[in-house]
Structure 1
Amino acid sequence: MYGNRYDARDDTEKRWRTFTDFRSVHATLDWTTRHETPDGSPMVSARVTGKGAAHALHLFTADYVMVLNAPGDQRSHADYSDPTRLATFWRTSGVWVELWVPSTAIAEPVPAEVPPADPALVSTSTGRPLLGPSGQLTFPRRRSKETSRA
C-alpha cells in the first residue's frame, strides 16, 4: 500500500539489520515517533542507539545502496540542519523515513571494525581476509619477470 508507515518501518528494519549484520555493527533502531511532514506526507522516525551509533548511521548513509521502487522515492542523505542531532532521511513508497543520533553521540570514539566472519571471504592458503580495507578483493601483486636478452 502506497504511504503505509508500517511497511516503511518494516522495510527500514530489514535494511538496517542486513547492513549492520554485514558490517558487524551493533547499533539498533529505537522507533520514536510517527508524524507528518509540513506538506502532509507520512513520516516515521527512529533513533539509532548502541555502541558506535553515529558511526553506524554515517556508514549506512554513505554506503548502503537504496533501491528506488516507487515514483517519488529518494535516496538517503544527511541532514545537519538541527544542531542537536545528526539525521539521515529518505523517501520510500510515499513515506519519509528518518534515522538520527543526538549530537552527543557524534563525539563517541569510532569502534574498530571486525573483519567479516564468513569463511568464504578468508583465504584458505594464508588465512588472511580476501577483502581489503577498501572492500575490494585483495590480490597479491606479481613481480614482473625480468628477461635478459642477449
Structure 2
Amino acid sequence: MPAPALHPDILIAKYETIRCWTDLEASRHEKLHAWNASRLDDGTLFLSARITGPNPGRALQRFADRHAGYLSRRPQTPGDQLPALDVSVEGREACVWRTGGVWVELWHPIPAPAAGDRPEPRPAGTSRPPRRGLPGARLPFGRRSKTTTP
C-alpha cells in the first residue's frame, strides 16, 4: 500500500483543490501551505493544508461556496460530501469535504480576541434581555389557539 502522500486518490484530491483554489479571485494573496497527508483511525485517507495570507477567513468562505458548486456538478463517488465550514477545533476555522474517498481540510488559525474585545464576565444564571433591533425582540410572535371545525 503506498504511503498516504503518494496515494493516487490523495494526489487527485490535492490537484483538484489547488486548481480550484488558484481559480478563485479571493485567493490572490492567500496561499495554501503545509500540506499533510495521513490516514484516519478508520484507515480513510486525509489531506490537510493551512491557509496563509492577509484575509484567510474570507478566502476560505468564498472557496467553500465556489467549491461546493464545482463538486456538485462533477461525478460523485459513494461517500462524497460537499464542503462545510467547521469550527470544532478551538482556535481555527476549517472547510472540510470528502471527494474520491479522501477527506480534505483547508484551515486557518483564528486569532484569540484582544483583552478589550472580550465580553465582561456575567454571574452564572443571568441572561441578557433581548436587545432592540434583533428580530426576536420586535416580532409579535404569539400563540395561536387551535380551532376545530365539526
Q: Which secondary structure state, in structure 2, belongs to the residue aligned with residue 15 of structure 1?
A: helix
Shift of 1:25: 3.8
1:37 corresponds in structure 2 to 40
* Structure-2 change in CA distance of 1:90 and 1:24 (3 Å): closer
Asked whether 1:27 is paired with 2:27, we answer: no
Tell me the distance in 2 between the aligned counterparts of 1:56 and 1:9: 18
Greater helix share, structure number = 2
Trace 1:61-76 onto structure 2 (pairs within 5 A). 61-64=64-67, 65-67=69-71, 68-69=74-75, 70-76=77-83
Q: If you compute each CA radius of gyration, which structure gives the higher value, 1 or 2? A: 2
Q: TM-score by structure 1 length?
A: 0.61
1:81 corresponds in structure 2 to 88
Q: Which secondary structure state, in structure 2, belongs to the residue aligned with residue 104 of structure 1?
A: coil
Shift of 1:7: 1.1
Conserved? CA contact 1:54–1:105, under 8 Å: no
Q: Deviations over 1:108-149 (max 9, x none)?
A: xxxxxxxxxxxxxxxxxxxxxxxxxxxxxxxxxxxxxxxxxx
Tell me the distance in 2 between the aligned counterparts of 1:56 and 1:43: 22
Tell me the distance in 2 between the aligned counterparts of 1:8 and 1:53: 21
Tell me the distance in 2 between the aligned counterparts of 1:106 and 1:37: 32
- The CA RMSD over aligned residues, in Å, is 2.4
Q: TM-score by structure 2 length?
A: 0.61
1:91 corresponds in structure 2 to 98
Q: Deviations over 1:89-125 (max 9, x none)?
A: 1011111110000112999xxxxxxxxxxxxxxxxxx
**5+ residue gaps, structure 2:** 1-6, 115-150
**In structure 2, which of residues 1, 8, 12 is the aligned counterpart of residue 7 of structure 1?**
12
* Structure-2 change in CA distance of 1:77 and 1:57 (3 Å): same
Percent identical residues: 36
Tell me the distance in 1 between the aligned counterparts of 2:113 and 2:65: 16
Aligned length: 104
Tell me the distance in 2 between the aligned counterparts of 1:95 and 1:16: 17
Q: Which secondary structure state, in structure 1, belongs to the residue aligned with residue 37 of structure 2?
A: strand
Shift of 1:80: 1.1
Conserved? CA contact 2:86–2:96, under 8 Å: yes
**5+ residue gaps, structure 1:** 108-150
